[in-house]
Every structure is written in structure tokens, then in C-alpha cells.
Amino acid sequence: MCKFSFKLAPRGALCLGIAVGLSVIGIFLADGALITLGFSALVLMLCSFVLGRSNLRGLEVDLSLPAKCYSNKYYKPHVVIRNKRSFLDAFYVKLYVGFPHGAVLSSQSNWVPARSLSSADVKVRFPMRFSSLDHPYRFVSGFPLGLFIFSSYQAVSQPLTVYPRQIVPEELLDHGVTGQCERIHEDSDVESVGEPRSIRPWQPGDPAKNIHWPASIRSLAQGHSLRVREFDPPGLEPERAVLIFHSYSAHREMMREDTFERAISLVAGAVSYFRNLNIKTELVADFMRWHPVQSKSRSEHYECLTILAESRRAVGTELHELQSALDKVTDGQQVIIISDMRSDSWKDLIEVPESAKIIDIRQVRFPVKKTLSAKAVLSRTA
């Protein structure tokens, strides 16, 4: 549904004041010339109002945004302004498309012919995650004389999901995925190898499968010994990782929106990190009512990111629910616990597995503005 509005521009207020002044003075002085000038100015303003209002009728917008986007990245969607009128062109039209959290797509077209269109590629960045179907937009124009500022409000329907920022927790990078350095010493009889590093001369005890035959042939031709591949130490990774997210706190702490957004970004980073290592991941969170979500294949991964983009903070998380989620973790699974509450307010009240890693969300900070709807963002451009 299209909604029109207008306001008097500064030059329009000046013109109106002059018109009224001339008309009043002409009436008091019985001067027909002044009265004619005053009423002519009023007629000019009336014609400007009618023509300016008609200038925004019949205009629509098409967007070519991808259905899935990443936050904090720039995109250049193709914006098309269509003029569906049959005979009246549109002039000097500004377009503003509002998205949540302060993202605004702005474009300007000086001329849109009747039954035709005007297009442009406009850069836009989504600072935070969200998911929405309808995107409000506003046409603004001061045509023809700049006496009035006309606005037309409409909405374009296009599903858009913006994934949260993906920040890998430092705890996963300090000693490998799950403390690989410690597990190498515990399982010293493991025969797995890491990535190849270099080629060295053969030594007694080297397995024949590690011989690098092209290099060995060149070495033997020069009178040297065989050459074998040298590998980095083996990297032992878990077959499965479990990410547990909760908002439980034993103390009455302030619920801050920025801490929840940081925690969601760390969850998204951990999920993507494990997927890149081909580790099957299970996400269990209170905002999903503790229903596990798997993430390993491509479709499962993006489904998990979509859930994170649409997630809202859970209210009323109980201690027994968190403990029950931890008790369901079996041996051999790596446990990652992320919370938007301070860890000292809950970790002493539950039984945390020894191999579990508690993520500190204070490790990262990024500006988080107050949540704004797309309509509120669009109203700020007025």
C-alpha cells in the first residue's frame, strides 16, 4: 500500500509568506495589482503541489539482492525504479530502502521515462544479522520547484537472511582444535601423520611408503641415498563436537543486547571452524528449546547459520535444563560452552566435563547499536 506525505520546504514557506503578504496588503490598500500577484503566487504553489504529488505516483522498486548474505560485508545490489504511468515522466527522485540495524540503500534518478525504468548498482553493508521478508522504501522528491518535499512510502517483498559475523573463539586456536598437543603425547602409538613438510635423506627405520621416488631417482643418479617425505606431527581431531549455548545466570545480571550478539558471532565462528576441519558439529541452545541441530554438510551448515540469524535470546533458562544438556554428551565428544552471561555466575553450579572449553565472550568487541526496525531506520532518513 502506497502512502503519501509532504512538508513545506524553506523556499515554499518563503513563497507562501510572500503570497499571503501581498494578498493582505493588496486587500487593505485596495490595490488590484498586489492582489493579483498574491493570488498568482498561491496558484503557483497549488500547481506545484499537484504536479509534485503526481510525480511520485506509479513508481515501484525491484531489488536483486541475494537471499543469503553475510553481515559486515559490502554488496552491490541492482536497483530498478519502474515508472508504470502511461504519459507522465518522473524527475529528480531519490530512493531510500531501509533495513534493520541502520542499513540504508540510497539511490537517485534524475529522469524515469513513462512506461520505462531507471537502474543503478548501489553499495550497501548490513552491520548485524537479521531475517526479514518485507523491506520498506521511500521515494523523496522536491520536483518541480522545490516548494514542497513529497514522500511516498511502500514496501518490496523479497526474503533476505543476513548471517551473523563469524568469529572463531581464541580458545579453539590456542592449542589446536581440542588440545591436540596434549593428546599426541597420550596416544604416542598413533600412526596417523600430518601434512607433508619437506624431503630428507633416508634413515634406518623409515617406512618404504614414505619414499619419494622421483627425488630418490635423481639422488641415486648423483650417488646419494634415497629420499623420503617428512611429515608434520599428526593432528588428532575429535570425530564430533558439541556446542552448548545458554543464557542462564544465578545472579540478577543485566541482559545486554551486545553480549548476546557477540556470543552468537562466536557460535557461528565455531560452527564454521569445525566444518572447515570436517568435524561433525551439534549445536544445542536454549533459544532452540534444547533441540540439537547438526552441522557438517553444506545444507546443514547453512541451515544452522539461518537459525542463528533468526535467533532471539531465551528468557527463563533453568539450571537443570543446562545440566541435562551437558549430561547427554558422551565420551569422545568435544564440548564447547558459550554463554552471554559471565562464566563465574554459573560454571560453579554445574558439573562441567573436564575436556569442555568455556568460551570467554569478552575476547572480542564490536560496535552494536540499539536494535532498530527497518521502518525506524527509514524514518531517520527524512
Position 381 confidence tier, pLDDT thresholds 50, 70, 90: confident
Q: In which residue are the cell numbers 563465574 written?
A: 344
Buried b (16+ CB within 10 A) or exposed e, 15-24: beeebeebbe
- Region 258-280 average pLDDT: 90
Does the pLDDT value for residue 280 go beyond 50? yes
For residue 187, tell me if it sits in a domain.
no
Q: Are residues 142 and 270 in the same domain?
A: no
Q: What is the pTM of this model?
A: 0.76
For residue 381, tell me if it sits in a domain.
no
Does the pLDDT value for residue 152 go beyond 90? yes
pLDDT value at residue 181? 41
For residue 227, tell me if it sits in a domain.
yes
For residue 20, tell me if it sits in a domain.
yes
pLDDT value at residue 40? 93
DSSP-derived secondary structure letter, 368: -
Q: Are residues 127 and 66 in the same domain?
A: yes
* Rounded-to-integer distance, Cα 198 and Cα 340, Å: 45
pLDDT value at residue 189? 39
Specify the pairing of strand 90-98 against strand 240-246: unpaired
Q: Are residues 158 and 275 in the same domain?
A: no
Q: Are residues 347 and 224 in the same domain?
A: no
Which backbone phi and psi does 320 adopt, to 5 degrees?
A: -65, -30
For residue 369, tell me if it sits in a domain.
no
For residue 379, tell me if it sits in a domain.
no
50-101 pLDDT, tens digit per residue, is 999 999 999 999 998 889 999 989 999 999 999 999 889 999 999 999 998 8
Q: Are residues 139 and 284 in the same domain?
A: no
Position 190 confidence tier, pLDDT thresholds 50, 70, 90: very low
- Region 38-53 average pLDDT: 93
Q: Are residues 139 and 219 in the same domain?
A: no
* Rounded-to-integer distance, Cα 268 and Cα 336, Å: 12
CATH number at residue 113: 2.60.40.10
2-20 pLDDT, tens digit per residue, is 889 999 999 999 999 999 9
pLDDT value at residue 250? 78
Comparing CA positions, the residue from 160, 164, 136 lying closest to residue 73 is: 164
Position 229 confidence tier, pLDDT thresholds 50, 70, 90: confident
For residue 150, tell me if it sits in a domain.
yes
For residue 371, tell me if it sits in a domain.
no
* Rounded-to-integer distance, Cα 8 and Cα 24, Å: 21
205-219 pLDDT, tens digit per residue, is 778 888 888 888 888
Position 182 confidence tier, pLDDT thresholds 50, 70, 90: very low
Q: Are residues 214 and 267 in the same domain?
A: no
* Rounded-to-integer distance, Cα 381 and Cα 348, Å: 49
User: How many residues does the structure list for the chain?
Assistant: 382
Q: Give the torsion through C-alpha atoms of 245, 251, 252, 255, to 10 deg.
A: -20
- Region 183-199 average pLDDT: 49
- Region 339-343 average pLDDT: 88
Q: Are residues 152 and 132 in the same domain?
A: yes
Q: Are residues 99 and 202 in the same domain?
A: no
Does the pLDDT value for residue 290 go beyond 60? yes
Comparing CA positions, the residue from 171, 369, 100, 125 lying closest to residue 261 is: 369
**Structural domains of the chain, count:** 3
pLDDT value at residue 363? 81
Q: Are residues 261 and 358 in the same domain?
A: yes
- On the 0-12 / 13-18 / 19+ scale of CB atoms within 10 A, 7 is exposed
Query: In degrees, to the nearest 5, what angle opens at C-alpha 357 toward C-alphas 352 and 361?
Result: 110
* Rounded-to-integer distance, Cα 352 and Cα 374, Å: 41
Share of the chain above pLDDT 90, in %: 50
Does the pLDDT value for residue 45 go beyond 90? yes
- Region 180-204 average pLDDT: 55
Q: Are residues 201 and 156 in the same domain?
A: no
Q: Strand locations in the chain, DSSP E?
A: 3-8, 59-63, 68-70, 74-75, 78-83, 90-98, 104-112, 116-121, 124-125, 130-141, 148-163, 196-201, 227-231, 240-246, 280-285, 293-295, 333-339, 357-358
Domain membership of residue 307 as a residue range: 170-181+238-363
Does the pLDDT value for residue 235 go beyond 60? no
Higher pLDDT, 370 or 300: 300
Position 368 confidence tier, pLDDT thresholds 50, 70, 90: low
Comparing CA positions, the residue from 187, 200, 89 lying closest to residue 143 is: 89
Q: Are residues 284 and 357 in the same domain?
A: yes
- Region 118-133 average pLDDT: 91
Higher pLDDT, 171 or 282: 282
Does the pLDDT value for residue 183 go beyond 80? no
pLDDT value at residue 237? 61
Mean residue pLDDT across the chain: 85
